[in-house]
Structures are given as structure tokens and as C-alpha cells.
Structure 1
Amino acid sequence: MPFFLTSEKPDELVNLLPENLRHLPLDDISNDTETDQIYIRAQISFKGPYQKSRKYFKASLVEGNFCINAFFYDKIAEFCLTAAIGDTIAISKMRIEKNTRPSQGDHACQLIVNNDACVWACVEKPPLHNAPVPTIPRKVVKYTYTKLADLKPKTKANVWGVVRFFKSPTRSRGSDYNLFLTLVDPSIVAVQSKLRCSFFARTAEGLPEVQRSGDIVRIHRLEIQQHNDHLVGGNSPGISFLAFDGSLDGVMTPRTSSSSYTMTPDDEAMLHELRAWIDSWQGDLDSTPEIDSTTPDDPSQNAALPLDSLPVQSTRPKHIFTSISKIRNFAYCNLVVAKAVIAQDCCVLLRVWDGTKATQLFHEENQPDRLELLNSDEDLVCKAGDKMVDIWAFDNHFASASQIELRSFISVINLHASQPKSVSPPRIELTLHGGTSYGKKIEKLDNTHPEVEKLVERINEWELSFSLTCVVHDGHLDTDNPAAATLPCHAHQPISSLQQVQNHQTPYKFRVRVKVLELSPEPTKPHSICQIYCHECHFLSPYPESLQCQINDKPWLEMRDDNGDFRCPTQNCNSQIQTVFMMKLLLHDGDSSLRVGLWGNEAVKFLHDFSPSDVLLNEDLFASVSRSLLEICPKPTQTFDANRPWIECCVMSFSRNTDKKYLIFDTQLNT
């Protein structure tokens, strides 16, 4: 059990070793290595506490870019307590075993150093014999970092980099997890280059904890190889990772699964330097060259300002919204105002507000049947007005989007903006497609998140009066004459005038008290108030009077399938068509008029839950429906008729292209 202490310089330690011993680098150690005639020399980078009950401690030994775990037992462990982190030791005649708990690319082997081994330790000041072990100041391992532009193939290096692109950890074809990312730094971004890295680990936690593009990572012992015409980074024994938030005011604490790591003042300075570089990169947005639309998922070449300052000409099809910098994929921070499940397990519509008003037009949901599904926070809708935008989340984002509650703050990462060619005037459509590239996801933010605090400040600047739709229109309220239609769910809401409805921003909901001056089409026959409608392609046509009628040059009779259901006549669409009520009403409140629509499920509710098929098949039922409609509108007129009954109804406003539209909802006839 030889144990030797020396205060010589670490480079001179080899002079104390027997001449017959041969130096073996850490990366050449394997399970079948014979250790009688070799020695290793390494620096202590980690030293665990001494376990008195079992008389051992664990240490990590580093040589160059390689690291290996060593376990010291019995008397040799007591002697080796003298050595501290940063000291250099040499070991011979140790036992080599397979690493039982590898993580983050640790060495495949581990060392067992017991009383059969020989240890030479180079410390600053050896203790006297039998004297108490002195407290030696722990040294910090000095790491040298290489710029990404200076990396060479077939080498190992320590690097800092900014994540330009990444794919979340996925299980490989084997049992490991894989993470792919690309890194940039100031040395290579000028030449529009990047370092591709692919890492493997037995668990996802053993990989760099990257959350979004723009994060900063520090990697020790990164192995560099040449692949075709570019360099590739990968695992090597002892590789370790630290990940940091890349924002200028981000925390200094790294994200890592390792229980021990070094973080020196030089590291903190490097982190500040890279954050400042990322932040300064944002200020160069206006000079960013437009990219080809065939590369939609590369935010490093495709940047955008917040919605309130984004020029129309800078918004292009397949544009990626970024924030904080060009390199950082936009964690688009929003307040959720409304939500609707458009297609189960497939699509969720989120109506959000980021505290600004966009300078260009954005596409918004305008299908009445989908707007009926929209669950809104009325207070927020009133405050946001026309500053809201719609985001469609698809596929694997359905679960997270559907669980988001109203008034939640969310971050939408890698939001895609496109400009459909069929829409005129041009409008931007915001979509979160399926997949996880660039950390694509929706995440809920805590109220204390820095981005949320900024969002709240912007929202507070838009102090709007809530009295606009809360003024009771008292010019024609007649309590002696009850309304011919009532609101089962919204009778407590104040009444608005039709002028207020037309002047208010869309979308919004109102309660009004009006008279019906005109109803079209007139309910003369059952099919007159019905239409056939396809939810898939939105085909709409009057209900045919007989089976011999032609629809889109197809006989109505031939559109029936084997089950008796009618199919859509539109080319390339074979969806089942439905029969729906569809009417238009001209309303008047004594001061102004408004034309509104009544259709779909809201029309069924309006007509005492009688379905179109019931009305078409039952003449007595149609006669009852016709009498009810004629009571509120006996005959068409263009002037206010004081003898007609009042009706109270809910009216929903929305926009379609540049026009405002209005629908009756949540209303039922009393008669």
C-alpha cells in the first residue's frame, strides 16, 4: 500500500515513479487492461465526502479532455484524503471495472483503488507524519475553451455555443436517447456556418437540457469529427453539459443533471458576453436579408419584430417569429382570451393578445359554426378589442393547447406565419404545426416570468373603458310589453343599442332589444328556411324542393349513398352534407337598424330546439314554426313599426375579410 506525497510541481511527479512503469492515457483504459506495469496521471476534478462507515470516497479524475470515476477504499482512502480538488495524482496497480452508472457520456470504466494500489499525490504542502490532515485550499480546474471556428477534426475540445436549432430528445433505434442541435458563436456566424452536434445518453436527463433556440450551452470534452464537408460534434468519455437561458436578464444557474460542476468567474464572464452578443444581434433585424421561402424553419436567417412594430413588407410567407434576437426562436408571450377545439385530437384555436396592435392584417376564424365553439373571457375580449390574433395549434400540440385555461399566460415557441394565396387582401396566418423542431411547443408561464411582466406592462397601457357596451339603452324599454324572445342564459347582461353594436370593435357579444322589420326568406314552405351545408368544404345551397332537382349539375337523388345519407356534390369532397336552418333578419331598435344572420345550431335553439329534419317531415310542426316567425315579423317593412312585438336577443359580431358580420345566438322565441 505505498502512498507518496510530494510538493513538487505536477509536471515533475513522473520523476518519482519507478522506471518500469508506462504511462497509459485515460482514454486507452479498458476492462481488460493490466495495471501492474502502467500508471495513470490525472487531476482531481471532484472529490466526494469520506464515508466513515464503509471507509471510502469517490473522486473524478481528469486528464486532458477525458474523465474517469475512481473509488478509494480502506487505508489508502484515509491517506488520499490529503489530496484536494485540483491536485495531481498518479495511480498504479488499481483494479479496473465496468462503469456501473454511466451518465452524460462518462468513461465506460471506473477505477477501484484499494490497499493493493500505489498512489503518488502532488499537493502544495505534505503533512507531517501522524499530524492532522491540513486544510488545503481547493484548486479550481482551469479549462481552456476553443472558438467554434478553430475546431479541428479528430480532436476533443471544450466549447461555448449558442443553440441555433435543436430537436427535443427522442429515443433512438437502440435503447439510448438522442439530441441533435446546431451551435454558433461570434467566430462562425459571420461566415454563416454552424457546428452540428449529435449526443446520445441512456436517459433524456443525461442530455443537454436545451429548452429553446437561443439557449447557451457549455460542453466539456466534445469530440470533433469530419463528416463530408463539415464538422460534427459528439460524445466522448467524460463529456459534460451545462445549459443556460440566453436572455440578457436570465439566471446564472445552469440547467444540468450533474450534481457537481465548476462555474468560475471566467465562465460567468463568458456567459455575459454571449448574452450581450445575442441581445445586440436583435438590433440588426432591419438589415436581415429576406430568405428563400423554401427554408421556413431556420430562425437564424428569418427574424421578426413584435407584432406592433413588424412592417408589412417584412412579413413573408413561411415566416418564423423570433424575439430577443434573430437566433432565439420567438417565445411569443400571450394572454389567452378565447379558446375553441376545432377538431378533436387535431386542432385547437387560441385567440390571444400580446399587449400590442399589429400593423398588418392577420387571418382570423370567421366560420360561424366554429365561432359558436369559442369559449371567451368577455372582460378580456372587451379590453383587447380588435388587437387579438388567432393561433391554430395542430397535431401533437393539441393536448397542451386544449388544457390551457382562459386568462393564462403562454409562450408559443417556433410559431409559423404564412400568407395563404387565396386570401385577399393579404393576411398573415399564425400556425403551430406538428413536430418539435426548434423546441416547437406551447408552454404555460408563471405570473412572475420576466416576459409575462413585460406583457402585463403593455396591457396596462391599453386602458380601455368598459362602459361602451354597458350603457342601458332606455329609449324604448317597455316593461308593460314583454319581449317575444328571451335570453335563457344572459338576461342579467345590460342592453346595448344597435348603434353601439355597429361602432364596437369585433369580435364581441351584445344583448339588444329590437323589433324585426324583415325576415328572409319568408317561411312559406318548409324548404324555404333550410339550406344544405358541408362542414368540410363549406358548400352551401338552397334545400331542393324535390329529388329531381339539380345541385351543381348533379341530380339530388344521385347524391344519396347506400346508407341514405346525402354526400357533398363538390368535386374532390365526399363528406356528408347536413340540413341547416338559415335566415336573415333586419332588426330595428327605434334609432338604427342592423341586418343579422340566424343559422345552424343557434337557429335550432331559436325555434324551440326543432331540427330542420323535423320541420321538413312534419307539416304541423312547420306550421307552428311559421306562425312563431310571422308573429315577430308579419310582413316586410323598411320603417320602424311600433305595433310589432319587441324581442330581446344576443348578437355576436365578427369580421370576415374587411366586412363586419352579425349573428343571433343564445336566444329562444317565447311563442
Structure 2
Amino acid sequence: MNAHDTGFVYIRDLGNYLDHKVNVLGVVLEFSLPRKSRGTDYVSTLKLIDESQQSPEFSVNIFTKTIDHLPHVRSYGDLILLKNVTIKTYEGQVSGVFYKDSSSFALFDGTPSTEAVLYQSSPRFLLLDFEKDFISHLSQLFDAVQFSSGSSEYLLKLKNIPEKTCFDLVCKVLHISYDAHKDVWMLFVWDGTDVPPLNLHGKLEDEKQNPLPLQIESVPLDHNILRQFQPIGTVLRIMADKTHENLDKHFRAVGKWVRLLDVTGQISSGIWHGFLKPSARVRFLSDDNNVVLDLHRDYNERIFENNGHLPQWSKSSHFLTVIDLEDITFITLMDIITNAKLNASFCCIVRVVASYPSEADDFRSPYCPSATKMRLTLEDPTARIHAFLRGDEWMKFFDGSPIDVFTTKLNMLLGMPERQYGSNDGEFSRSPPWIQCCIEVKRSADGRRKRYYICSTRIVTQ
């Protein structure tokens, strides 16, 4: 079937039509997130291929009056028919410009079919009967073809996330929500690996007035949403630039594997998160994409190995604590949070990133040891929680140590540098060690939420 016979121009021939308006039909490989342009329009950039050319990909900038009129690609391999697109050159590459007053488009399901299945079109678009056959032909032509997932130059896994550096991430989008307090859209993504642990900065006494947050989002996600997350591997929160509006309506990637381009790693309160730049782009990937298959393989190898629920960064046979139980099976904090069992105990590998109170004299009464109560902030690559030490469990945890020994043990637990032992003055960087910990889950006194208590755990020092 010849494209010229249907009024379409092959991508390989577009260089012959500079400053002309043409019709182009292609498979959408990549698109930028809808955003406000520098003017009054909205803009999105698409990259296309067709049967004539798969590399380089044809880039087209689409300008529309409203965000709803931009194309919102919903799946891997979907097709777009562009009409009256003006052909230009940019940095030596042939590209296209879609003008809101003269161009039109339609998006089609890329699943091979004898009929063209249209799911979105611009206001002036008109689909002609003879065009349907060519659309169906292209969808069947690319059936079972694995499209490129892009170069590997900037591609990283979450376990290698860098700070303040742009990178690309192949991941599964698990959820999207709007944080009204921060006025940002947030993606929740996962690739089966663990982000690296971070040092903590600041004064320990800040925990009283300004405690470390348990999550990046202002309000914790509903448990029904959390239960849909994988319990192993970090679920990274990625904030979208404020130029990206109404992502829940226009971003159709929830539950799908994608490549996110132009992500920046950032740190807040000792927690990794990501940021999508205004230029951020998305590339849908098939479930049998080579990169996706590699991630699945690595994840499956991880969970089937002995103690596969351990953080990837805690492979050590020496911990600061021991658990006084037999036949221990370790799980993650996300496992514990989403587990429906109450009055049950679970074992995990965590770091103590904060404590309150942080001074022995603030909370321990020598006349009433049972009144002792201490809140520890625990984290692993999947979550942070508050867990309490009280009464006899407090005594067991610190082995009934005198005040000076207790202070040393607490400093070790929090990863304080030795020069700061005995002093909380000033700001410093600390690196809490991984510890074994047993956590008992109970319902709070008001019955509305679960509370976590440390039990059967004690610090051991050489």
C-alpha cells in the first residue's frame, strides 16, 4: 500500500516538503507531558515512526488552545493521524508543527484490527473512509514488533538514583494523585530495586518540634491503595512541575510500564523523591520489552533467594541488635503496614532515623521504669513508621543500661559520629546502621489506626 495514494507522506520523505502542510500517519513512541507553553497555548511534543523510517524518529510539536485538545496517548503502539502539519527543520532534523487554527489529529488504538478504532480527535478532524484501510494496515504491519525503548545513555535504576542530576527511568506507574497542600501532582513508580540509604542532617532535639515526616506526600495514602503496591522495592514519589496540569485526566500510564525521561533525583528530610522537569517525556513500553523483562528477572531472583525481603543495602551478618526469637522470617515495613493482622509480631531490617525523646533524662524515671516510653522512627527502602518502646521492652532493648551506657547505645543506634557522643549541640551528619527489629502491631486506643511497638529486640555491643 502506497502512502502517496492515500494523501499521506512517509516520514522518510518529509524533508522534501519543507514549509509545506502535509498529512502524516505514524506510531507514537514518545510524548511529552501536556503543559502550558510560554504563551497562551498548551503544548505537547510527540515522536513518531512509520513503515518507512524508524530512526531517527519524527518529532512534532502540537499547540492547542486548551489542554483537553492536546493528544493524550493511552497505550503502547497507538497511532496518530496528523493533518495539515507544517514541516520544518530544527537543529538539522526534520520536524513538524501542529497549528491550532489549521491542523487536526486523531488517535487510534494500536492493537491490530481490521478496523480503525479511534479514541480521541481534535475538533476539526474528519476521518475519510479510504484512510481507515491505511490505518488498519499500519497497525497490523507493526504487530509483534518491539519498538525502541530509547538509548541507554541516561537510563538508571532506582538503586542508582543520583541527586540533582537528570536521568531516565524505566518503571511501572502504580498510582497518581494530587497533593493539595503542596499544589503538585505526584506519580508513584516502582522498578523492583531499593533506593540507597541516606545520611540524616540536623539537630536531634528538632524531633520534638519538627519531627521527620513519614512520607513525602502531605497526607498518607489510603491503605487500599498501599495494598496494591509491591511490598519489596522502593515506590518512588515523583513530583510533576507545576506546568503539568490535571495529570490524572491526561496521563494514561497508571498500571503500565513506561520510560520516564528527564527525571531529577531530589532529597527531602532524608527521603528520596523525583521531579519531572517541564521537558519531561514518556515512552510506553510493552510487557515483553527487553529492559522490562530484565527488571522482572532481577526482581524474581531477589524475592526467591533466601531473605529476599531484606533491603539490598543491608547484606550484613553483623547487626547492632538481635531478636530473641527462633525461626525468624524477615519482611519489609510495607508488608507490615499493609498486613491486616493485629496483635501479631513481624521481623524486619530497618534503620532508626530519629528518636523522641533523644535525651535519657527527658523520659526515664528511675523510680518508675514501667512508665518509660520512647518513640523511634524506623525506615527501610519501602516505608517509614513510628514504633514505640515502653516498659520492660525498653529495659530489654537497652539491656537496663545505666544512663551513660544508654546514651552511647542510643548514639550508635542513630548513627551519630563519635565526636558528637554525649552532645546534641550543633548540626551534623549521621548514618544510622541497619538493625534487626521485631515489631508488634496493635490497634490504637481509639480503634481508628494501628500502632507499632518494638519487642523481643535488644542492642548488643562488642
Task: Output the TM-score relative to the length of structure 1.
Answer: 0.36
Larger radius of gyration: 1
If asked which structure has higher relative contact order (CA below 8 Å, sep 6+), I would say 2
Task: Output the TM-score relative to the length of structure 2.
Answer: 0.48
Higher strand share: 2
